[in-house]
């Protein structure tokens, strides 16, 4: 699923193709993708706007818009599980799952594609209203070991649901939660407030290392869904220590990787390396 490293990869690849472009037209094939706005209202808001800046927050892709040099709202995209993004010249075949196409002033188009219809591409006057209450960016300076240690201290939840909670920390999904917890030697069901300061520091370090390495490899493509905007799969799935490796040997101790369900999510761990 597109999590922080995949969305960051996408943002980096489409940024140079989008920034400075003006939207000249739009085609909406599935209204619900717009998250509540009607097609005409969406078209009125975005057509004629200039894509001033493309950035990422958590798992959200954001494009700040301008009209006549003044701020004019933002496009906020979330790929959920099967969303994909392309910026391509005329003649590109987006396939049967195209949801929204934005025609740009250089003849290319921005394609928003989604098989399962969960992904969203929304317009808002203020991007913050769609981003909600997100926790800190795990790769930013404000996400420190001491912040994490004290944030964990106040929570009684299990570690994994907490890491998946976007209001706690932004951008971590099922894959990188499992990978980070294994690397930190922490059990997904361990209670947050029982993780000590030194263990919290290890978790902090491993979350950042996992995300940074995944970005370096342009994310993970463990199924047919995630591709970069250039159509390439990521390369981090080859580095998975636990995710999707049920029964395979733990890379650290060779015990078989177990699969349990935590908060309705498939969860992978090594019972020997990750004690409660």
Of 59, 99, 120, 227, which is the active-site residue?
Answer: 59
Of 157, 265, 271, 272, which is the active-site residue?
Answer: 265
CB atoms within 10 A of CB 12: 15
Q: What's the CA gap between 65 and 73, in Å, rounded?
A: 5
Q: What's the CA gap between 54 and 15, in Å, rounded?
A: 6
Answer yes or no: 117 catalytic: no
DSSP secondary structure letter of residue 194: G
Residue 140: name the closest of 167, 169, 162, 166 by CA. Answer: 169
Q: DSSP of 150-187, one letter per residue? A: HHHHT--SBHHHHHH-TTTSSS--HHHHHHHHHHHTB-
Which of the ranges 43-51, 153-161, 211-219, 231-239 carries the binding residues for DNA, by CB under 7 A?
153-161
Sign of CA dihedral 55, 41, 84, 67: negative
Which of the ranges 18-26, 86-94, 155-163, 196-204 carries the binding residues for DNA, by CB under 7 A?
155-163
Closer CB to DNA, 102 or 163, in the complex: 163
Answer yes or no: 3 catalytic: yes
Restricted to residues 26-45, the positions that interact with DNA (CB under 7 A) are 32
Judged by CB under 7 A, the residue of 12, 153, 155, 235 near DNA is 155
Closer CB to DNA, 70 or 156, in the complex: 156
Residue 60 host element (H or E): strand 60-67
Minimum CB separation of residue 104 from DNA in Å reads 27
Residues that bind DNA (CB under 7 A): 1, 3, 32, 58-59, 78, 80-82, 115-118, 132, 155-158, 161, 164, 166, 173-175, 223-224, 263-266
């Amino acid at each position: 699923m597109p999590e922080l490293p995949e969305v960051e990869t996408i943002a980096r690849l489409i940024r140079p193709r989008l920034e400075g472009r003006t939207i000249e037209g739009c085609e909406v094939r599935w209204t619900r993708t717009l998250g509540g706005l009607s097609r005409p209202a969406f078209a009125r808001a975005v057509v004629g706007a200039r894509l001033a800046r493309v950035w990422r927050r958590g798992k959200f892709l954001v494009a700040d818009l301008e009209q006549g040099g003044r701020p004019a709202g933002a496009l906020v995209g979330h790929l959920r599980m099967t969303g994909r993004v392309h910026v391509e010249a005329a003649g590109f075949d987006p396939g049967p799952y195209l949801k929204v196409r934005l025609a740009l002033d250089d003849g290319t188009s921005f394609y928003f594609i989604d098989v399962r219809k969960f992904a969203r591409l929304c317009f808002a006057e203020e991007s913050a209203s769609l981003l909600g209450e997100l926790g800190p960016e795990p790769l930013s300076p404000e996400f420190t070991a001491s912040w994490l240690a004290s944030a964990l201290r106040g929570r009684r939840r299990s570690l994994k649901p907490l890491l998946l909670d976007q209001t706690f920390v932004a951008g971590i999904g099922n894959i990188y939660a499992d990978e980070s917890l294994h690397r930190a030697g922490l059990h997904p069901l361990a209670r947050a407030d029982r993780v000590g300061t030194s263990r919290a520091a290890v978790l902090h370090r491993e979350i950042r290392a996992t995300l940074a390495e995944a970005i370096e490899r342009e994310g993970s493509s463990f199924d047919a869904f995630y591709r970069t905007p250039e159509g390439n799969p990521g390369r981090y799935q080859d580095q998975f220590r636990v995710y999707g490796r049920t029964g395979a040997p733990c890379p650290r101790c060779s015990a078989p990787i177990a699969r349990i369900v935590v908060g309705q999510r498939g969860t992978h761990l090594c019972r020997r390396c990750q004690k409660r």
